[in-house]
Amino acid sequence: MGTSWCSMLHVMCSITMQYQVPQFIEVEDKIFGPLTAMQFIYVAGGVGFLVMLWLLLPWWLAILLGAPVTLLGLGLAFYKVNDRPLIAILEAGFNYLRQTRLYIWEKKQTVLATADEISVEAQKEDPSKYVPAATGNNIKDLAWSLDIKESIYSNKNQQK
């Protein structure tokens, strides 16, 4: 009985199941002739808006108001920036304009020194001046910048 069970397990393990794996998952399907579903929606929306204005308004006003919307629809359907669709670029621009920014201004002090003073300082080079000192102000500045960065990143995580 033990050998038949073992042989049956061997047969079950030797059967391999095969599945077809999709090859081109980044390429959208062409549903409406040469257009994808999203391209068709953008073109149909832009042209539909122009036709609606054409029927409701005088022809010159319909073209004046409908041309930008139609061009936007065509741009959304076909125009790419660095192989990314225009809708992704517009979304990134809108998110950039919507988010808060922190501007910090630090006044730079300029000190004029003579050539003699520079040569004297170059001779007196002290290696300890390259090691940063941990003073109270430096520690407070570091803690403040960490708090600001932490609050910025926590706000981004909370918004998602």
Tell me how far apart the alpha carbons of residues 54 and 61 are, in angstroms, rounded to a whole number.
Answer: 8
Residue 66 counted as domain residue: yes
Residue 88 counted as domain residue: yes
Residue 109 counted as domain residue: yes
Residue 153 counted as domain residue: no
pTM of the model as a whole: 0.48
Q: Are the C-beta atoms of residues 31 and 40 closer than 8 Å to each other?
A: yes
Residue 140 counted as domain residue: no
Residue 47 counted as domain residue: yes
**How far is CA 104 from each of CA 99, 107, 144, 153, rounded to the nearest angstrom?**
16, 10, 12, 18
Closest among 69, 86, 65, 68 to 77, alpha carbons compared: 86
| Domain count of the fold of the chain | 1
Position 132 scores a pLDDT of 62
Residue 64 counted as domain residue: yes
Predicted confidence pLDDT, tens digits, the chain (160 residues)? 445 666 665 565 556 667 787 777 777 777 777 888 899 999 999 999 999 999 999 989 998 999 999 999 999 999 999 989 999 999 999 999 998 888 888 777 766 666 666 655 655 666 566 566 666 777 777 777 777 766 655 555 555 5
Position 117 scores a pLDDT of 62
Residue 45 counted as domain residue: yes
What is the residue range of 92's domain? 28-115
Tell me how far apart the alpha carbons of residues 76 and 43 are, in angstroms, rounded to a whole number.
Answer: 8
Q: Are the C-beta atoms of residues 46 and 70 closer than 8 Å to each other?
A: yes
